[in-house]
Structure 1
Amino acid sequence: MTDTTQSTATHGVTLTELAAGKVRSLLEQEGRDDLRLRIGVQPGGCSGLIYQLYFDERTLDGDLFADFGGVEVVVDRMSAPYLDGATIDFADTIEKQGFTIDNPNAGSSCACGDSFS
């Protein structure tokens, strides 16, 4: 992983080049350069935990950072163990369009793919 200019720890989440390109495109549409992609998990969904993926301008105490070609991805310290080794990709097919998360820590997931345990 590339080292960020901040003196903080990095996380184990990977952003594919396709996903990074989509994030860059969305950020350009927003017209802001102060946003980063935040991924986290929270209790909920039909399998116990649900992913959160959104743009955030804040940084929280204990956040972990990684840079993927100018796209900063942030994970909070509570979510990091659940996301270590996860890969965020972007699908653009006739069947599905949107960000996907391949998480080796997910023991099981629901049919919708939005929650896991």
Structure 2
Amino acid sequence: MTDTAVAPQVDEKAHGVLLSDAAADKVKSLLVQEGREDLRLRLAVQPGGCSGLIYQLYFDERMLDGDGVVEFGDGVEVIVDKMSQPYLDGATIDFEDTIQKQGFTIDNPNAQGSCACGDSFH
């Protein structure tokens, strides 16, 4: 990863997920396109895929009991639910925009392995 992570503003309900500068910029751009300031980026882990667990990354207006939230400046917040936090502690969300690939990526030091397609992990 060539991009640096944005310094989070941590509160008492924090999680250990980081957001790169490129990802924060892309999230902010998407929020401006949506015209909504009440949305946050939610990262979750769900059962599924070839290796047992899959990532879910989407905008959410809800705050659920036990959610951890960290603001990464300029109104960009990342939410992680209580059950997903142990699987995602230390993970970094990045955004790649190259001729070969465009999209969000998740670098997770807790993943012991992944499937060939890269959509799931264990």
Structure 1, unaligned stretches of length 5 or more?
none
Displacement of 1:95 in angstroms is 1.2
Tell me which amino acid in the other structure corresponds to 1:92.
D
Alignment partner of 1:88: what SS?
Answer: strand
Please list, as runs of the form range in 1=range in 2, the aligned pairs for 1:65-84 lying within 5 A after superposition: 65-69=69-73, 70-84=75-89
Q: Over aligned residues, Cα RMSD in angstroms?
A: 0.9
Q: How many residues align?
A: 114
Tell me which amino acid in the other structure corresponds to 1:56.
D
Say yes or no: does 1:44 pair with 2:51.
no
- Percent same amino acid among aligned pairs? 74
Alignment partner of 1:85: what SS?
Answer: coil
Displacement of 1:3 in angstroms is 3.0
* TM-score, normalised with respect to structure 1: 0.94
Quote the Cα distance in structure 2 between the aligned partners of 1:3 and 1:52: 22
Alignment partner of 2:36: what SS?
Answer: coil
- Aligned counterpart, 2:100: 95
Please list, as runs of the form range in 1=range in 2, the aligned pairs for 1:11-50 lying within 5 A after superposition: 11-50=15-54
Quote the Cα distance in structure 1 between the aligned partners of 2:97 and 2:28: 16
Quote the Cα distance in structure 2 between the aligned partners of 1:49 and 1:111: 14
Q: Which has the higher strand share?
A: 1
Say yes or no: does 1:2 pair with 2:6.
no
